[in-house]
Amino acid sequence: MRGLIVNADDYGLSPGINRGIAEAHRKGIVTSTSLLVDTPFGAEAAAISTELPHLSVGLHADLSAAVAEHEDEVSAAICVEQLERQIARFHSLTGRWPTHLDSHHNAHRCQGLSRSFVKFGERYGLRVREHCDATYVSAFYGHWDGCTHLEQIGINGLKRVLSASDGHLIELACHPGYVDEALRSSYRREREVELRTLCDRRVPQLLDELGFALLESQL
């Protein structure tokens, strides 16, 4: 059996996203999530997570504000400053430290910042997305080239994505949730389709057939 972490990004983005991720954990296969600490709904997400003891919660570092303030490229020093501030905010909201580190819009991939993310993760003992023993799989996603592709996030799409995944430990990224008025994202109707797929009663059997065992924690 291979290990499978199913991580829901954007926790804290809106009340509907918070509710959907919690449901995808309680009723589905989501084992992990990544929290946005600077949104108006981050505190709500943190409070919900206290009722979900088997849900790993990591930091979804958001450098958007830093990018807006510094029109040119964000420096490594500013990145570390933001990470320090956001992990302190995470601890203040949740009363614990994150289990892992990733970033909103994949900021950790930016040239000059990747090293800062890795060093920061090492200092706090965090698994850093794409820089750890887990193979990151992002193909369970239903929008590209300006078009919606719901077939990619249905049961058959999930099967294709997992069947093509290599590695003894997989981190499958997902974005489940409910669309509400507070949601500011171009990825909208796809989130509810993801949620239905992740909670589908056929999925546990599918994972068993493919040889995957869900992991409750990213620690």
- pLDDT of 18: 98
Local structure of residue 99 (DSSP, 8 states):
S
The residues pairing with 85 across neighbouring beta strands, listed in sequence order, are: none
Question: In the predicted model, is pLDDT for residue 47 greater than 60?
Answer: yes
Q: Which two tokens stand for residue 113?
A: 């910042």
25-29, 90-94, 213-217: the lowest-pLDDT one: 213-217
Residue range 43-57: mean pLDDT, rounded? 97
- pLDDT of 207: 98
Question: In the predicted model, is pLDDT for residue 35 greater than 80?
Answer: yes
Question: In the predicted model, is pLDDT for residue 22 greater than 70?
Answer: yes
Residue range 26-47: mean pLDDT, rounded? 98
Question: In the predicted model, is pLDDT for residue 218 greater than 70?
Answer: no
- How far separated are the first and last CA of the chain, in Å rounded? 19
Tell me how far CA of residue 99 lies from CA of 20, 31, 147, in angstroms: 21, 12, 34
Q: Which two tokens stand for residue 128?
A: 């850093």
Count the neighbouring beta carbons within 10 Å of the beta carbon of residue 10.
27
Condensed to tens digits (0 to 9), the pLDDT of residues 166-212 reads: 999 999 999 999 999 999 999 999 999 999 999 999 999 999 999 99
Q: Is 174 helix (H, G, I), strand (E, B) or coil?
A: strand
Q: Determine the angle formed by the axes of helices 15-26 and 42-49, rounding to 10 degrees.
A: 20
Average pLDDT, the chain: 94
Question: In the predicted model, is pLDDT for residue 102 greater than 60?
Answer: yes
Domain ranges of the chain: 2-214
Residue 92's pLDDT band (boundaries 50, 70, 90)?
Answer: very high
Q: What is the pTM of this model?
A: 0.94
- pLDDT of 74: 83
Domain 2-214 grouped into CATH 3.20.20.370: yes
Residue range 60-85: mean pLDDT, rounded? 87
Question: By the 8 A CB rule, do 168 and 132 touch?
Answer: no
Question: By the 8 A CB rule, do 2 and 167 touch?
Answer: yes
Residue (of 1, 20, 28) closest to 188 by Cα position: 20
- pLDDT of 71: 60
